[in-house]
Amino acid sequence: MNFKSVKEILTAIKNKDVSVIELTSNYLDKIKERDDELNCFITLTEELALNKARKIDEEIAKNKVRALSGLPIAQKDIFCTKNIKTSCGSKMLDNFVSPYNATVIEKLNNAGTIMLGKTNMDEFAMGSSNETSFYGPVKNPWDTEYVPGGSSGGSASAVAARISPCSTGTDTGGSIRQPASLCGICGLKPTYGRVSRYGMIAFASSLDQAGIFTTDALDAAILLKEMSGYDEKDSTSSSVEVPDYHSYCLSDTNHKYTVGIPEEFVKDLNDDVKKVFYDSVKVLEKVGCKIKTINLKYTSLGVSAYQVVAPAECSSNLSRFDGVRYGHRSDNSSDLENLYRESRSEGFGKEVKRRILVGTYALSAGYYDAYYLKAQKVRNLIANDFKDAFDQVDLIIGPTTPDKAFKIGEKMNDPIAMYLSDVYTVSTNLAGLPAMSIPMGFKENMPLGLQIIGNHFDEKNILKISHLYQQETDWHKREPGK
């Protein structure tokens, strides 16, 4: 049983070529076989998955087929799932069992998906390598000595290893696109507000966005439609109409796109990555795209602005974890103040503490104007940069990451080098734009990703151009070990 895509799985289920219970059991067996090596999952929901699989089979026998009936999926452990541990990769929430479902979980459940389990991640989504997790690092299936990227590394690694056909992730500064690039799969971050954030445990509320990992663009189109839409529980969710992304990708709609390449995205690339990137540009020209050089002069300040804005919001959001209402509570406390201090000291890891401290400092009296307010002004300049660019071009492309995956442990003692892994991705979060990483080639047998950025709510054209590209290439079909 070796299905290559979500579309193939859904077709086989609808045609009754395979039962959902057989399919689900097959993926659970794959996880058990590989996960000791890869460490993709924090929680495996085997019993729940098999019970729902039986229910979906009964529905299909009665010709009741939902949009995603029987599709196995892995959920990032940042989404609250009713009666299942939701840990955010942290000791702080190691004992937290959510009493409700996040909207993303609810929508996918209602569409008929089967949750295989909750995937490993950088603690509270803070990291670019999936090494900050309380549950240990996730491994890259292309070479287990290398990181899969982060923070959604468990979700990316699971799809790349083909132990789950698709998975959810979240992207605050590149946490879907960067691991998608390093693992050789597709990772889509929608427009801010396209997918509800209700029940998604917050890191930086103005930047966080839920998204998906798949092996190809058409699969991402299928899943995005089911995940998207207005949610009255999330005041930042958008009521903009959700198109049928999959049908649009397959339509004869004119695709003579003008595609911009920012000088800032390519000037410092090493020769190997630059060659792979420009080979991809030739493919886009072949399918009818017009290439134009553009400037995004303020995006070079993206990492600096992000490393003020995101920690500031994290400092505020994580103040709720105090050892009183839920989560880890220290046994070494003598009074209330001591309880707060000891619970947070024991519950949070080093990277989370670092960002809380930076954020609290940036928001403190005397430094707010100098740091936080200035970072927000830079954020506005970056957003205007993109706005001006989209007056000239339809889409923007560049490499997703500066280089291939790095070895586990290589950057753990150098936070600045780690943060610079997201140099090409953070600006889109600051501007609230949609972006996707798709496989574009290899360097030294490790995958590289092509990032495609669109204007607000233009996911359909990102997916369309990705599909056109994938009709001309087979990078997305490559599998680790094959």
Kindly list the catalytic residues.
76, 151, 175
Is residue 146 within 8 A of residue 14, CB to CB? The reply is no
At which residue do the structure tokens 């729940």 appear? 48
Rounded Cα gap, residues 62 and 351, in angstroms? 51
Q: Is 395 helix (H, G, I), strand (E, B) or coil?
A: strand
The residue ranges of DSSP E strands in 215-350, in sequence order, are 258-262, 290-294
Paired residues of 398 in beta bridges: 451
Query: Using alpha carbons only, how large is the chain's radius of gyration in Å?
Result: 21
The residue ranges of DSSP E strands in 150-251, in sequence order, are 167-171, 186-189, 209-214
CA end-to-end span of the chain:
16
Strand 258-262 with 290-294, pairing: parallel
Q: How far is CA 86 from CA 93, 100, 111, 213, 318, in A?
A: 7, 11, 21, 20, 15
Nearest Cα to 478, choosing from 246, 142, 178? Answer: 142
Rounded Cα gap, residues 221 and 333, in angstroms? 50
* Residues sharing a CB contact under 8 Å with residue 294, sequence separation 6 or more, in sequence order: 260, 261, 262, 263, 389, 392, 393, 396
Burial of 48 (0-12, 13-18, 19+ CB in 10 A): middle
The Cβ-side half-sphere exposure at 153, using a 13 Å CA radius, reads 34
Rounded Cα gap, residues 352 and 132, in angstroms? 9
Is residue 129 within 8 A of residue 404, CB to CB? The reply is no
DSSP 227-248: HBS--TT-TT---SPPP-HHHH
Rounded Cα gap, residues 45 and 37, in angstroms? 19
Burial of 144 (0-12, 13-18, 19+ CB in 10 A): middle
At which residue do the structure tokens 């990772």 appear? 187
- b/e burial code for range 416-447 (CB count within 10 A of at least 16 → b): eebbbbbbbbbbbbbbbbbbbbbbbbbeeebb
* Residues sharing a CB contact under 8 Å with residue 401, sequence separation 6 or more, in sequence order: 149, 178, 181, 182, 421, 424, 425, 448, 449
